[in-house]
Structure 1
Amino acid sequence: MNLAQPVLLDARIARKRYAERTVLADVALHVKRGEIVCLVGPSGCGKSTLLRIVAGLERDYRGSVTLDGVPLDGPSPRIGVIFQEPRLLPWLTVADNVGFAAGRRGGRDPRVAQLLSEVQLSAAAAALPSALSGGMAQRAAIARGLFGEPEVLLLDEPFSAVDAMTRMHLQALLLDVVARHGTSAIVVTHDLDEALYLGDRVLMLAADPGRLDGELAVGLPRPRDRRDPELARLRARLFDAFQRFHEHSAATAR
């Protein structure tokens, strides 16, 4: 990722509350063109809420989200979303699920065939979701997320429901298709190794209220070797940061 690239997405969340609880406070998030940013933090720190705000699915907050300088006040085709579960429509074929945004016969759109080829699902185009494995279903979800050619792709723990080997395959696949399409991405994950393998930057969120508590740049070229000692060193830094956060939280609670 070229560090000289301009900022594409700029989210400034002054406050997000659910009833009397402040979920996010004074969060400033920016993403450059072609950049992958990973969000990590303890459960309940507001990672998924932040993603929903950026996606335009959550509008009751104080702050702003702009894309290329243009304010966003709701869902936009320029932002694609991939959820933790694939959420494929069971009565549609894989191809029609991928091309769903194009209407009733969206599976015939030539972009669908290209995307299915990229995620290695061409042979399953006419299959129903019930015939897919978990990894195949998530590949279909990635293709669907890219169908509208979004500039930013949001992924909320997209690989948490699959086994370790499938997860690694999907991580590599995601990097490949995002690079091919020139798409920026924000990935929410609990997995520190995943964050370091995917991200150009890793942002750490603390809880109560959710706020940015640190940033780690991953200056390693791709493709990355999962056995690289530098990744192990960066993981230790992330782990130490979380240990300090938990110790501080425990001391505050006493």
Structure 2
Amino acid sequence: MPRGRGIAWTQIASGVVLLALCVWIIHAFAVGQIEWRYVGQFLFVPSILRGVGATLLMAVCAMALGMVAGIVLALGRLSTAWLPRIVSGLYVWLFRGVPVILQLLIWFNLALIFPHVTLPGIGSYRTVDLMTPFLSALFGLGLNQAAYIAEIFRAGFQSVDRGQYEAASAIGMTRLMAMRRIIFPQAFRTVIPPLGNEFINMIKLTSLASLIQYPEVLHNAETIYYANTRVIELLIVAGFWYLAAVTALSPLQHLLERRFSRGKSS
């Protein structure tokens, strides 16, 4: 059999299998015990909409924390001094190696390790009062994200031609000034696409915060189905809103990718 014909039959067979799988899934949802009227009934209830807002708020705040900490870590990884380089490397190794859900649980139960927190000049507070679900989720998600953003920015900084550093030094710029005025703007074009992917992933990661009682959309959906037992229907509602948020952000991400890739090529 000619090679081209063999490839064609393979593609046809794959298409048939995929179509059969889609039909089977649609049939299962159509004839199963799902009451679709409950999906429409709970799609826009206030608690679900509040959960959507809390999800987006946490994604933005955790991403902002991760960006700030990640840039600092990236600079530490590229430092010529051994101490910041080792500390940054250990941070990235630790936070990338420990599951996110475990980090969230540690932050939420931090009072078991440090019962009290003393703030100089302010006072001493019980850790259990300070580590609310919001702060626990913020630290857990944001500081974990920092480890990944650090690697993204490190690659971005390294993508800038070494001659740019030398030219900046030749005209009397300090290393910090060169990073701020020359290196960072050029590196930013490289890191924008992966940062967009990380933010979209962060929206989905916020669902883990439901485990520590942060009232994002999945947590609020769980609260409802604990009362009315419509488990699958409420999970579909939560899934719809996650999918809607990701779908709304994807075109913006593609637009930024095209814009910055065009600027980089020019």
TM-score normalised by the chain length of structure 2: 0.26
**Structure showing the higher strand proportion among its residues:** 1
TM-score normalised by the chain length of structure 1: 0.27
**Structure showing the higher helix proportion among its residues:** 2
